[in-house]
Each structure stands twice: as C-alpha cells, then as structure tokens.
Amino acid sequence: MTTLVFERIAVVGIGLIGSSIVRGARAKGLAGTIAVADHAGPHLARARELGLGDDWHADAGDAAAGADLVMVAVPVGACEAVAKAIAPRLKPGAIVTDVGSVKASVVRQMKPHLPAGVHLIPGHPVAGTEFSGPDAGFAELFENRWSILTPPDDVDPAALARLVAFWRGLGANVETMTAEHHDIVLAITSHLPHLIAYNIVGTAADVEQVTQSEVMKFSAGGFRDFTRIAASDPTMWRDVFLHNREAVLEVLGRFTEDLFALQRQIRWGEGDKLFDLFTRTRAIRRGIIGLGQETPAPDFGRRKG
C-alpha cells in the first residue's frame, strides 16, 4: 500500500511520461494536489478534459509555485527555459527533477538558475513507448522498470529519500549513479539503438530497387521493431543526440569499428567468428528476460489483444 509522499507536485510537460506520472501518482495516492503545466495549448486542454491533475497552467512558474516536487518532463533542450521560468516561484526545500534521457546537460542547463535551498536531483525513468501526448500515458508505465537518479555529491539525504520513495511508489526500481556515467550507459543501451533504427529505416526508404510499399508489405519482425523505435518523438530524440553528443560519438565510433570487423567476417566467410558473436549476443537477450525487463513471447514487436 502506498502513502502520500508530497503534498503538492507540479508536472511540467504532459506528454507520455508526464501524463503517466500524473496518472500513477493519483492512482497510488502519492500526491495530495497535482498541478500540470504545458506550453502547448492543445496538450493542456486535453489534460484538463482527461482530468489529469487538479489545476492547469500555461506557465511553468505558476504550476511550480508552492510545489514540494517539480517534475520537468520536457525535451532535454527545453530544460534551461523551464529552470528560468520556475526559479522565482520555487519554495525553499522544493525538489526539482526531470525525466530526460541525458543528465550532464540537464545539470549544466538547470543548476545555475535554481535558487539556494532548492534540491536539484536529475532523474531518468527508463520506460516509454513510441507514442506521445497526454492520451499516451498510463499509470503502469513504470512498473518494474528502472528509474535512474543522478544526485549531486552534496545531495540532501532526506530529499533524495523522498524522491526515491515517489518513484518506488510508482512501481519503479531505483538506481543512483553520476550524471556522466548515466550518459555513457544510456548512449550504449538507448541512444545508439535509436540512431541505428532511424538510419536503417531511412536507408530502406531510400533504396531505389525496392519500393516503399514493398518495404511495408514484406517487413520481417526485426525491421518492424526498428520502425517502432524510429517512430519515437522526433523533437525529444533530436535533443538527446545534440545534448549527449560526446558519449554518443564515442559509442558510435566503437560500433563503427565493430561493424567493419563484421563486414570482413562476412566477406571472408569466417563463420566461426560470426557464430561466436551471435552466441554472445544471444546471452545478453536471455539476461534481459531473466531480469524481468522483457518477455520471451515471439510477438515480433506486435501487441496482441
């Protein structure tokens, strides 16, 4: 049974993640009052229609006023503007966090603008779908998923404990690490796979010998999974690559080297090396399933029922 963690929270940005946080916090009784802010009029209006929250604001500062927790759920590139907007309205002791897929950049953007006595604890729930907007969210999104927090060295232990309790109340597992370590880990596990998906789907669309209708009609399971990833929000992912540039380029360089090695193995018929690689990668998949982060169902990325 969950208990109240914050009297008032403000969620800035009511897309997939923001609306899921609002739904989950309400369903689990984690917050007394929930304020919602979004600069997009249609999103804000839809949030009101859906009853997501208790009060709604076009200005992030108005939502943040009096909040114990401010959850910034906007594209990474917009974090500095949000920090400037909420800074004058934050009450002493408020916790400010975010949900972005890049952490070092968020610290650089937000920390200089936040007043003393406010606790900045960047975060990243490793959960999501390819859908976006207020209607896309659901309270169970974070169940048994990981939420990574990157607290500063001088973090207030009580503030961190409250934020951990909030995420656990939403059903998430919580891990802490430095912002820099987070960025290299996610460059490997999330950012590079998205970059590959965007590229391979774009390549398929550009191959002159194959029509676009053939690409869609004869898509095998692997390609369908790539298209699901490549359908993710373009604004969010543009910002991710621009704001985690160094880590992504480092991992991309290693990937390019491995890809050239794979090319040589195919060219020279080195079946033993290919078999060894495929065996090692198969073990990674089994490990992910073993940790409960995926199911072994052979649905090729398609939901049933």
Task: Return the sign of the alpha-carbon dihedral for residues 47, 45, 5, 32.
Answer: negative
Average pLDDT for 76-103: 97
| pLDDT band per the 50, 70, 90 thresholds, residue 171 | very high
Please check the confidence at residue 289 and state whether its pLDDT lies above 70.
Answer: yes
Q: Which amino acid, residue 300?
A: F
CATH 3.40.50.720: which residues of the chain?
6-177
Top-level class of domain 181-290: mainly alpha
Overall average pLDDT of the 154-158 stretch: 96
291: pLDDT confidence band, cut at 50, 70 and 90? confident
Q: In what order do the strands lie in the sheet with 173-176?
A: 123-126, 146-149, 173-176
Q: If you count DSSP H runs as helices and E runs as strands, how many of each does the chain have, helices first?
A: 13, 9
Q: Which residues pair with 36 in a beta bridge?
A: 11, 56
Identify the residue with better confidence: 176 or 234: 176
247: amino acid identity, one letter: A
Name the nearest CA neighbour of 179 among 125, 127, 121: 121
Q: Where in the chain is the domain with CATH 1.10.3660.10?
A: 181-290
| pLDDT computed for residue 231 by the predictor | 85
Closest CA to 293 of 282, 302, 303, 284: 284
Query: Is the predicted pLDDT of residue 100 greater than 60, yes or no?
Result: yes
Q: How far apart are the C-alpha atoms of 16 and 142, rounded to whole Å?
A: 12
Q: Are strands 123-126 and 146-149 parallel, antiparallel or unpaired?
A: antiparallel
Quickly state the pLDDT bin for 255 (edges 50, 70, 90).
very high
Rg (alpha carbons) of the chain, rounded to whole number: 21
For the domain covering 6-177, report its CATH number: 3.40.50.720
pLDDT, position 202: 82
pLDDT of residue 219: 67
Phi, psi (rounded to 5 degrees) for 240:
-60, -50
- The pLDDT value recorded for residue 37 is 97
How much is the average pLDDT of 135-152?
95
Q: How far apart are CA 212 and CA 134, in angstroms?
A: 31
